[in-house]
Amino acid sequence: MNPIEHKRHDTHDEYASNPEYQKVLDFLQDKDDFVIGSHEQPDGDSLGGSFAMYMMLTKLGKKARCLYITEVIPSAYRFIAEGIELRKKSSTGAPVKNAIVLECPNLSRLGSDLAKVVARADEAINIDHHTKNDMFGVANLILPQAPSTTEILYRIALDLGVQIDAPLATCLYVGLVTDTGRFQYSNTTGDTLRVAGELVDYGVDVNQVFQQVYESESFATKKLLARMLERADLSDGLSHSIIMRKDLEETKASLMDAEEFIDNLRGIEGTKIACLLRETGTGYRVSLRSSTDLDVAAFCGRFGGGGHKKAAGCKTDLLPEQFVPLIKSFIADGTLPPERIFDQEAALAAKQNGSGKE
């Protein structure tokens, strides 16, 4: 029993009424030896959720570890990673008993290395709040009405009788505050704020989270932001900009440092959709934000990506001058582009063989 008692909210009952909810509870209670993973380019909800799940399982006496094979934890979130067993590499072919995949609509979003690890698991469960999900687990708890994955995990922790302390509450709060845009996005409800208050009651230092997540950017990150803003353009309802690979080399910043830059474009007056293209070794990572009813998740879905109606992402091998007009057409009349799934491994192979564009 948790020392702080809170009333059961309407959303708690709504989540619990989903038949997959009990399957997830049973899986976590009955199984042991877990690996936990989430999408590549991790954000506050994926990291907060992964670390929270690790703490929940260890508090239940279970063996668990978080898998981040190819990613570096962004500096803004390292403060919640203390004490977490992280495995950045996994032995090829090593057995995996039980996998927990969080905030990831399909296995390809895990990245090829982590997807292979999850594929080796005896069983995997899938907990997400995106509107579109491939349902790849033995249990698939998909709750698009949830503001964050960590909000779902909070309900699960209560129902499992997990002792919630300040570190666990902080991980849950980080996911909630970042995926709601500091409680300013349209996915923020009264229950969202009540849950945030309950997490504060468990010991979350709100000021520490704010300083770590939003006020701890490196000087290199600021220099990268300046370059992005210098290239920014606003026309036909689209605010967009590009980050080039040379920018990263010259500023000593990383792609992860630019994770939240899109908000600087979304906030420009007259913006219907904001777009940030980040050049990679094989193409571009695309982040989209909508300030209208335009569904950017549907747009990104045409490129094999996804997300939420107002916030989504994908990858593309199109050049910016080819990609940007597609968004403008979407803004103008809602026209979705032809389906063009980006095959990252094929693009990388083409580049290595000297036949790629870059």
pLDDT tens per residue across all 358 residues of the chain? 455 666 567 677 888 889 999 999 999 999 999 999 998 878 899 999 999 999 999 999 999 988 764 556 788 898 998 888 776 655 545 678 999 999 998 887 787 778 888 888 899 999 999 888 889 999 999 999 999 999 999 999 999 999 999 999 999 999 999 999 999 988 999 999 999 999 999 999 999 999 999 998 889 999 999 999 999 999 999 999 999 999 999 999 988 888 889 999 999 999 999 999 999 988 999 999 999 999 999 999 999 888 889 999 999 999 999 999 999 999 999 999 998 876 555 555 554 554 433 3
Burial bucket for residue 151 (CB in 10 Å: 0-12, 13-18, 19+): buried
Distance CA 217, CA 163 (A): 33
Amino acid identity for residue 278 in this structure: R
Domain spans of the chain?
A: 10-213, 219-352
Q: Categorise residue 161: left if φ over 0, alpha if ψ from -120 to 50, beta otherwise.
A: left
* Fold match between domain 10-213 and domain 219-352: no
The DSSP line for 292-308 is: SS--HHHHHHTTT-EE-
**Tokens representing residue 232 in the block:** 């920014």
Residues with Cβ < 8 Å from 296, sequence gap 6 or more? 273, 288, 289, 290, 307, 309, 310, 311, 312
212, 174, 187, 196: which is closest to 47 by C-alpha? 174
User: Which CATH code, of 3.40.50.980, 3.60.15.10, 3.30.70.580, 3.10.310.30, is assigned to 219-352?
Assistant: 3.10.310.30
275 bridge partner residues: 240, 288
User: What CATH code is assigned to 10-213?
Assistant: 3.90.1640.10
151, 190, 186: which is closest to 171 by C-alpha? 151
